[in-house]
Amino acid sequence: MSRKVLLLLVLIYAISLSGCATLEQVGQVLEGQKPTAQVNGVRLTGLDFEGMDLAFDVQVDNPNPVGISLAGLDYDLSLLGSRFLKGDQPMGMKLAANGNSSVEVPMRLGFQQLLSTYQQLKGADSAGYQLDLGMGFDVPVLGRVRVPVSYQGEFPVPEMPDVKVRSLDVQQLSMSGATLMMQLEVDNPNAFSLLLNQLNYDVKLNGYNVGSGLMGKAVNLQRGSPGVINLPLSLDFAQAGMGLYKALLGSGISYDLNGSMEASSSNPILKHFQMPLKKQGSVSLR
């Protein structure tokens, strides 16, 4: 018995286990049907100092009465009419029978590669693109089939918000500890507004861990209008040491500010994404 015939018998048997197999269902298995696919949109999922992460949302319709597999895909992404990224990705994803499934196709765009390849992107707020996908499905009877999908659109060229430490205020100081307030200024260089929903932070002063936490409330960042964020810090000199106490009595102190920011925008591509927070320098005490 050939492998194909054996596979057909197994599939028909699998259908019969879920109920009485109709002649139509058996015919569909014997015939085999190619799935269809379409790109419903693209999202920015991450933004850092080196580049941005995109996710293309693909809807796949499987008309077969049995599940199929998305074995892999090949892609060709063009920006401003010129090829930028080309390659393939293994998937190994199972798709349900008789229905739609959502597939996320991630891609990474590096800023250095973008700007070295497309000089016209410097200072641009957006860029046109075309994505050509070839999705490889394992379908009963038909075997491996390639389904082509094309999608055109325009995505914004985002820039990282500029974070500055504006001040470090000593609100209370004693021999046992201190209460400080670090004030940040966040500037949005993009043409679109950003809503900074969450900021996770970890602060070191003169190399000592002095505080971590979450930003208290969301901050709306308009272009040309910096937002202000206050980070409360509480020091325990018994843990941090008297060296930090003496530093606080001086005129300035070094800081390390690390963490992450979660932002959103009214732009459909920029619904929700994450950015790293990393800043070092010195600040005068007040």
Tell whether 250 and 234 lie within a shared domain: yes
Burial class (CB in 10 A: 0-12, 13-18, 19+), 44: buried
Last residue of a domain, one of 156, 175, 191: 156
Instruction: Kindly state whether residue 214 falls inside one of the protein's structural domains.
Output: yes
Over residues 145-192, the pLDDT tens digits come to 999 999 999 888 888 899 999 998 888 878 777 788 999 999 998 888
Please report, for residues 30, 90, 140, the alpha-carbon distance to residue 27 in angstroms, rounded to integers and kept in the order given.
Answer: 5, 31, 12
Tell whether 128 and 148 lie within a shared domain: yes
Over residues 230-273, the pLDDT tens digits come to 998 887 766 666 666 666 666 668 899 999 999 998 787 888 88
pLDDT of residue 278: 93
Tell whether 47 and 186 lie within a shared domain: no
Instruction: Kindly state whether residue 29 falls inside one of the protein's structural domains.
Output: no
pLDDT band at 23 (very low <50, low <70, confident <90, very high): very low
Instruction: Kindly state whether residue 28 falls inside one of the protein's structural domains.
Output: no
Instruction: Give the pTM.
Output: 0.72
Tell whether 218 and 259 lie within a shared domain: yes
pLDDT of residue 245: 62
SS3 124: coil
Tell whether 110 and 87 lie within a shared domain: yes
Tell whether 147 and 56 lie within a shared domain: yes
Over residues 29-51, the pLDDT tens digits come to 445 689 999 999 999 999 888 88
Q: What is the DSSP letter of 63?
A: -
Beta strands, E only, the chain: 36-47, 51-62, 68-79, 82-95, 99-110, 126-139, 143-156, 162-173, 177-187, 194-205, 208-214, 219-221, 227-236, 252-264, 273-284
Over residues 205-231, the pLDDT tens digits come to 888 888 888 887 899 998 878 899 999
pLDDT of residue 151: 96
Number of structural domains found in the chain: 2
Residues in Cβ contact with 83 at an 8 Å cutoff, skipping those fewer than 6 apart: 76, 77
The CATH number of the domain where 265 resides is what? Answer: 2.60.40.1820
Tell whether 135 and 87 lie within a shared domain: yes
φ, ψ for residue 29, nearest 5 deg = -65, -45
CA–CA gap between residue 95 and residue 55 (Å, rounded): 19
